[in-house]
């Protein structure tokens, strides 16, 4: 397994089509944003897309961006669009992606990283702690977690 960053690879079309296979609405949104080359406009110019790959198969993906589902918060960067394909779940593979995003954020000078989610108990095992409830772009409550970057 290997983590690659979408914007630094040549075969973008293959990986966009792999993302399209996700059975999750946000995964489909990411697919559309990447297909139309609009992700950076939506999430910020420094946005990165991390792909955990098993040869030519996509295992898991996430983004590291200035903005995510919680807009105009004044905090960031944000991990977003976190997804693992069903056949790969239960092995904590997403931890590899979170570690890659953490290292990039650290190198970019971030002091914290945030995640907006409806999940409880998922990100704590990777060192994230509950920060506070915030409203997402649809005005719905979202659990926001953070991790200190050292």
Block means of pLDDT (10 residues each) for the chain, 150 residues, are 96 97 94 97 96 97 94 90 96 95 97 94 94 92 95
* Structure confidence by residue, pLDDT tens digits, 109-147: 999 999 999 888 899 999 999 999 999 888 999 999 999
Give the neighbor-by-neighbor strand order of the sheet with 2-5.
2-5, 48-54, 57-65, 78-84, 112-117, 141-148, 129-135
The total domain count for the chain is: 1
State the CATH number of the domain containing residue 135.
3.40.630.30
pLDDT of residue 70: 87
Contact 18, 28 (CB under 8 A): no
Q: What is the pTM of this model?
A: 0.94
Q: Which residue range forms the structural domain that includes residue 47? A: 2-148
């Amino acid at each position: 397994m290997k983590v690659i960053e979408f914007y630094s690879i040549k075969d973008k079309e293959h990986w966009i089509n792999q993302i399209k296979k996700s059975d999750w609405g946000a995964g489909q949104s990411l697919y559309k944003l990447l297909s139309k080359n609009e992700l950076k406009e939506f999430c910020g110019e420094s946005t990165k897309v991390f792909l955990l790959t098993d040869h030519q198969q996509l295992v898991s993906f996430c983004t590291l961006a200035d903005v995510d589902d919680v807009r105009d918060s004044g905090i960031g960067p944000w991990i977003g669009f976190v997804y693992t394909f069903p056949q790969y779940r239960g092995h904590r593979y997403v931890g590899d992606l979170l570690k890659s995003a953490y290292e990039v954020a650290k190198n970019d000078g971030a002091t914290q990283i945030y995640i907006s989610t409806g999940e409880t108990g998922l990100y704590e095992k990777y060192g994230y702690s509950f920060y506070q409830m915030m409203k997402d772009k649809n005005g719905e409550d979202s659990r926001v977690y953070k991790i200190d970057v050292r």
